[in-house]
Amino acid sequence: MSAARNISRFIRKLVGNTRRLEAAGSGRAAGITSAGPMNPEVMAQGSVVRARARGSFYNNGLIRNAVENWIAECVRSGVMAKPTLPYLIPFWKAWCRVADHNGITNFDGLSAQVLRSVIVDGEAFVQIITTPDGPSLVLLQPEQVAEDLTVTLPVGGYIVQGIEFNANGQRVAYHVRPYDPTQVFPTWSQPVRIDAADILHVFQPLMPGQVRGLSWLAPVLLSANELDAATDALIVAAKVAAMHCVILTDPNGDAADPYAATPEPMQPGSVIRAPLGTDVKVSSPQQFTSAAPLLRQITLQIAAGLGLPEHLVNGDLSNANYSSLRAGMIPFRARVEQFQYTVLCPQFFDKVWARFIAEAVLSGRIDAPDYESNPENYVSDWIFPAFVQVDPLKVVQADAAEVAAGFASRSQKVAERGWDIEDIDAQRAADAAREKIPSVDPFETVAANQQEKPAND
């Protein structure tokens, strides 16, 4: 027993009682960037990151391709509403065509714009304007919500970067500066207080208590800038390497110019005799042989930072096959689905639907006598477009096997493809009824009519 106690005492003396975390040390970890709470970081540098993210999106082809592929995989051509009461669908579809207050696009186009703003700017603000024809949506610029307005209110509430909270920490208003599309340079104007019920704030919070969003491009901006610089340097190096220079030296200083009598001294296949005493040297700069692996490594960093497979960033499928494509798309699509149902639906689609139904009922456009007593009957689920499959036949066979084995329903599989089971069944019934109609040969009908027609005397 005493021997074990002595060993334990020896180990404590050897190791010491101080806990050591290498990540918090001053050695190799000294160069790691430290960050404080999320809100002060975004408050101090969020606008700078947003401006640089916009510049990268405008000018960098890989960043533009990655962002647009994220949008295509997430919302594609539009999201379908599946309300509890199917008779509401025609009213919703009619409103979606005129949802844009500016009249430029429809609700599906606004959904894509919202997602683009979330990715590039880090957040999207949508103002809901009440009109005689129902709610109308206006997409605001993030800088319109006063980022420089952070104060403590006397009644216990507070304002953080233009977003007002009550004493319970709930959002009650947004302070929005008017936007003038004719202004060339941003000017200061007094913000207008708008009730929180009329503003939708869409962003993906990274930390608890986060108030404003941060651009998704923040982790890849440095890599994108390095990729641009490396590409420009390689292009210049290729141009220099393509310059084939001939250097003539005259050690004795008495040799004649061999090109003096030749109007075009350098032509393919030409033979030029240099005078005696002339030394000829050829300048052939070497190219950078490791360019391709370096550029691909930087591209992989950009893809990883955005959660995308490599081919959705650079469009290169030379190293891809069915297995690698499927393995790369599965985790990305899981991330897309997570974002759809944890950010887009609760922050955007559900709130737009609730406002649409409320105004339609109050205006009498929709007859809903039990709206106040049974509001749960007037909610909607959302069917996102199906992901494009690498091998559709294998997917269909697997889905059919799951349905046949009882592991899934037809409704589930149809919804995964972005369709409504009622629409599919109605179309199938219409096709079956149409196929039962006997076909008539138009040529036989013409011949029969000619036989029945009396001959002219």
Backbone angles phi, psi at 278, to 5 degrees: -100, 130
From the list 381, 449, 386, the residue with the least C-alpha distance to 84 is 381
pLDDT at 455: 53
Query: Angle formed by the axes of helices 61-74 and 107-121, to 10°?
Result: 130
Most confident of 55-64, 224-233, 428-437: 55-64
Residue 273 has pLDDT above 70, yes or no: no
189 or 99, which is more confident? 99
Q: From CA 164, how far away is CA 157, in angstroms rounded?
A: 7
Q: Which amino acid is at 8?
A: S
CB 121 within 8 A of CB 29: no
Cα separation, 277 vs 270, in Å, equals 21
Average model confidence (pLDDT) across the chain? 83
Cα separation values, 277 from 252, 255, 256, 260, Å: 7, 6, 9, 16
Segment 393-414, tens digit of pLDDT: 777 887 788 888 887 788 777 7
Long-range own/partner contacts, residues 146-155 (CB < 8 A, 24 or more apart): 146/175, 146/176, 146/177, 146/191, 147/43, 147/46, 147/47, 147/212, 149/175, 149/191, 150/43
Q: Is the pLDDT at 230 greater than 90, yes or no?
A: no
Question: Residues 7-38, buried b or exposed e (16+ Cβ, 10 A)?
Answer: eeeeeeeeeeeeeeeeeeeeeeeeeeeeeeeb
Per residue in 193-223, pLDDT (tens digit) is 999 999 999 999 999 999 999 999 999 999 9
Mean pLDDT value across residues 94-114? 95
In this predicted model, what pLDDT tens digit does every residue of 145-171 receive, in sequence order?
Answer: 999 999 999 888 999 999 999 999 999
What pLDDT is recorded for position 450?
60
Which of the four pLDDT bands, split at 50, 70 and 90, describes residue 353?
Answer: very high
Q: Looking at the chain, how many residues does it have? A: 457
Q: Please report the pLDDT score of residue 409 as a whole number.
A: 82
Indicate if the pLDDT at residue 184 is higher than 70: no
The per-residue DSSP string of 366-394 comes to: S--TTTTT-GGGG-EEEEPPPPPPSSHHH
Q: What pLDDT was estimated at residue 403? A: 83
Please state, in angstroms and rounded to a whole number, the distance separating the CA atoms of residues 310 and 291: 17
Higher pLDDT, 267 or 85: 85
Say how many C-beta atoms besides its own lie within 10 A of residue 116's C-beta. Answer: 18
Region 111-136: mean pLDDT is 95
pLDDT at 457: 45
Tokens 């972005």 correspond to 418
Where residue 434 falls among pLDDT bands split at 50, 70, 90? confident
- Which DSSP helix (H) or strand (E) runs through 334? helix 322-339
Of 171-180, 266-275, 415-424, minimum mean pLDDT range:
266-275
Highest mean pLDDT among 2-11, 203-212, 288-297: 203-212
Q: Two tokens at 201?
A: 């704030």
The residue with greater pLDDT, 333 or 271, is 333
- Taken in order 176, 182, 185, 188, the sign of the CA dihedral is negative
Distance CA 303, CA 167 (A): 42
Element (DSSP H or E) covering residue 176: strand 171-176
244 compared with 191, residue with greater pLDDT: 191
Number of Cβ atoms within 10 Å of the Cβ of 258? 16
Range from 88-102, 280-294, 365-379 that averages highest in pLDDT: 88-102
**Rounded Cα gap, residues 165 and 161, in angstroms:** 11
